[in-house]
Structure 1
């Protein structure tokens, strides 16, 4: 798997950062967002260093499907309201970390004003997994 020196998410995936990991397998690591938008806000990060969702190709279709599956699984296992979920990716140049990650947020209806803007689907800066899949 490709790792980039100095990438905080690569460091977390390699266990070199003291972040609380709530899920880990051969492809993904999941941990709470450092600035949660709601009670449940997790980042599903790929072990492989892919810079962002815009870099994904047709070969990544199953990877995106698994990102979604893991995001929903972690939310469910952690007691999130599965009827009020927001999943999405920040779209370049509006991503602050250059390492692919899916945001999984619940309850979406409890997000504050700023979070509703930052994680508003269908904008130039935040896109749904369905949008990403449609581009592959």
Structure 2
């Protein structure tokens, strides 16, 4: 997607503070952090919303959660706890239409989230 900001992060066209990358995903710091640890984990494959995830994407989605687990452990937030958020469509708070998962931790997170 040529106008997708996250596709531009994946391609290197937009610079970001990448903290993890492999052949399937990229993780980078959120530019508007809501917690001491706030990373975005995105697939390199462009999938606009959670509603467009297909059966063939199951391994990719599982891999994303595996990366999230590794990052939570690496950042020292796994034991105390953390939150993973993925918004879908406008009323769900999605502003970039490329699926992404927010990893938040490092402070007590309240419920309901907002």
Tell me the TM-score normalised to structure 2 length. Answer: 0.86
1:97 aligns with 2:91: no
- In structure 1, C-alpha distance between the alignment counterparts of 2:98 and 2:107, rounded to whole Å: 23
Where does residue 22 of structure 2 map in the other structure?
25
Q: Which moved more, 1:15-24 or 1:70-79?
A: 70-79
Hey, which bits of structure 1, 4+ residues long, moved more than 3 A?
A: none
Stretches of structure 2 lacking an aligned partner (at least 5 in a row):
none
Stretches of structure 1 lacking an aligned partner (at least 5 in a row):
118-136
Alpha carbons 2:36, 2:107 under 8 Å: kept = no
Alpha carbons 1:42, 1:105 under 8 Å: kept = yes
Tell me the TM-score normalised to structure 1 length. Answer: 0.73
The structural deviation recorded for 1:78 is 2.3
Alpha carbons 1:30, 1:43 under 8 Å: kept = yes
Alignment of 1:38-57 (within 5 A): 38-57=35-54
**Equivalent residue pairs, number:** 112
Which of residues 7, 31, 35 is equivalent to 2:4?
Answer: 7
Where does residue 70 of structure 1 map in the other structure?
67
